[in-house]
Amino acid sequence: MPTPLRCDPKLLEKDLSGQVIIVTGANSGCGLETARQLASQKATVIMACRSPERGQAAAEDVGGVFLAPMDLSSLQSVRDFVKAFQEKYTRLDVLINNACVQKIIHNRRRASMDTQLLFSSFLASTKQGHHGVSFCEN
C-alpha cells in the first residue's frame, strides 16, 4: 500500500517563482526528487553536489542549477561553494540539508555535523535570512 502524503497536496502545486532554494546531495535519492519537485513548482533550485559530473547531469535532468561542487567533508569546499553562491545570489529562502544526515545520526561524525552547521551559518550571512530544513529519521 502506498504511503499517504503527510502534507496538503495543494502545497505541491504552489507557485514558488522567485524562491531560491539550496538542496544538498541533490544528485540522487531523496535530494534529487526534492529538487525535481521544487523545480516543477518554478523555484530556483541550487543543486549542492560534491561531484561536478553528477551534479551537472542532475541539474540538467530536473531544471535546477549546478553552481559549484560542495563536499560536506571539506570545510574549504563548503566555503568555496558559499562564495560562489553569494557572488550570484543575494537571497536564500530555504536550505534543505539532505546529504549525510544518517551518517551524523548513526556515527556521530562530528566533522560532518560541524560542516553542516557551518554551511548553514555561512549561508545565513546572505542578505536575506533563510529557513533550514534537515532530513532526519522520525
Binding site for ligand NAP (CB under 6 A): 24-25, 27-31, 49-51, 54, 70-73, 98-102, 135, 137
Alpha carbon distances (Å) from 82 to 46, 85, 119: 11, 5, 8
C-alpha cell at 72: 560536506
Q: Whole-number minimum distance, CB 107 to ligand NAP, in Å?
A: 11
Alpha carbon distances (Å) from 43 to 23, 35, 80, 94, 113: 12, 9, 23, 10, 27
Q: Whole-number minimum distance, CB 47 to ligand NAP, in Å?
A: 9
**Closest to ligand NAP by CB, 30 or 133:** 30
Q: Whole-number minimum distance, CB 104 to ligand NAP, in Å?
A: 8
**Closest to ligand NAP by CB, 26 or 92:** 26
Q: Whole-number minimum distance, CB 69 to ligand NAP, in Å?
A: 9
